[in-house]
Structure 1
Amino acid sequence: MFTLTSELLLTLFASSWIFVLCQETQEVTVKAGEDATLQCYGGVNISLIAWSRTDLTDDGYVFFFSDSRSWEDEQHPSFHGRVNLSDPEMTDGDASVILMNVQTTDNGTYECSTGEKNKKKQEKLMIIRLTVTVSGFLCAPQVIRQGDKRSASKRQALNGE
């Protein structure tokens, strides 16, 4: 009896890890100022979509859709007016959203959950790690003073002369 119980526990433990490992995780990298598409696909009868960011647990959703409309008053203030469904018709269960004008403050882990009509349970379908990069930013600008003998050579080097 003890062997059967430990085998059963081992099977249950392994099954739970398979579920965790099979849940999709996607890496998305975009430049600051661009739009980011956060992809998620649920069932064909989606009635609820909830996008959240793991570090914003009490402050609202990234995007919340229910009763055939989005609810901006359920959103975290930093996402107001910046998130839309990529396919408003949700064709083939498309619950993807477009996050517009991303900034470095949008870096983080996003989760998509959906619910279907006549089902009480929400399913977490996708985890996305969003990384926003800043390009063309000069971290340590050099000051070139007029009259400095080295300033001409510095200016030439900076201008590619």
Structure 2
Amino acid sequence: RLMTREHTSQKNITAESGQNVTLTCRWSRRDLKAQYVLWYWEKQFVPYYQHPSFKNRVDLQDRQMKDGGVSLILKDVTTADSGTYECCVVHEVREGRKLAILKTEPISVIHLKVISPGKSVEFSLALDAFSYCQSCLAVN
């Protein structure tokens, strides 16, 4: 039985070319035994082997996957790495010659934008009305 959060977390990351970025993903499962940790890019996934462009550039942040952490570190990013990354859990079930691959909805979605070094980055922070009201009510 797979236990996941009720909603998909979404995150935007901007990095300069050549930097390392952490693609965060967390999951929980009662027995903490994962068959696969699957990351796929631009709706392409291959559960048995890695895309050549990521070879020798991806590592687990915590190889022991303590507390359900399965975040990946993507090393030496380039502008070609820009895109949407989704973290899912995939579980294979075999029965004789039959194979079923069970895949969860994305646990987290990361939108990565890689820019050339030296270019300026502009970003803004916006609070929705609910967050704003909560902070107003917290002040007495």
Fold shared by both chains (TM-score > 0.5): yes
> In the superposition, relative to structure 1, how do residues 76 and 40 fare at CA in structure 2: closer, same or farther (>3 Å)?
same
Greater shift in the superposed pair: 29-38 or 127-136: 127-136
Q: Is the partner of 1:121 in helix, strand or coil?
A: strand
Larger Rg: 1
Alignment gaps of 5+ in structure 2:
1-5, 94-100, 120-140
Q: Is the partner of 2:35 in helix, strand or coil?
A: strand
Deviation at residue 86 of structure 1 after TM alignment: 0.5
TM superposition score normalised by structure 1: 0.57
* Larger RCO, structure (CA 8 Å, separation 6 or more): 2
Count of residues in Structure 1 that have an aligned counterpart in Structure 2: 103
Tell me the residue number matched to 1:84: 59
Alignment gaps of 5+ in structure 1:
1-18, 65-70, 138-161
1:128-147 to structure 2, matched below 5 A, reads: 128-136=110-118
Q: After the TM superposition, which parts of structure 1 deviate over 6 Å for at least 4 consecutive aligned residues? A: none
1:1-161 to structure 2, matched below 5 A, reads: 22-43=7-28, 44-54=32-42, 57=44, 60-61=45-46, 74-115=49-90, 121-123=102-104, 124-136=106-118
CA distance in 2, matches of 1:23, 1:103: 26
**Letter aligned with residue 111 of structure 1:** E
Q: Is the partner of 1:81 in helix, strand or coil?
A: coil
CA distance in 1, matches of 2:9, 2:79: 24
- Could you give the per-residue CA deviations for residues 66-112 of structure 1, whole angstroms, max 9, x where no partner exists? xxxxx6xx111100010010000000111100000000000000011
Deviation at residue 116 of structure 1 after TM alignment: 6.4
Deviation at residue 45 of structure 1 after TM alignment: 2.8
CA distance in 2, matches of 1:95, 1:130: 18
Tell me the residue number matched to 1:6: none
TM superposition score normalised by structure 2: 0.65
Q: Is the partner of 1:98 in helix, strand or coil?
A: strand
The structure with the greater share of residues assigned to helix is 1
The structure with the greater share of residues assigned to strand is 2
Query: What RMSD over aligned residues (CA atoms) do the two structures have, in Å?
Result: 2.3
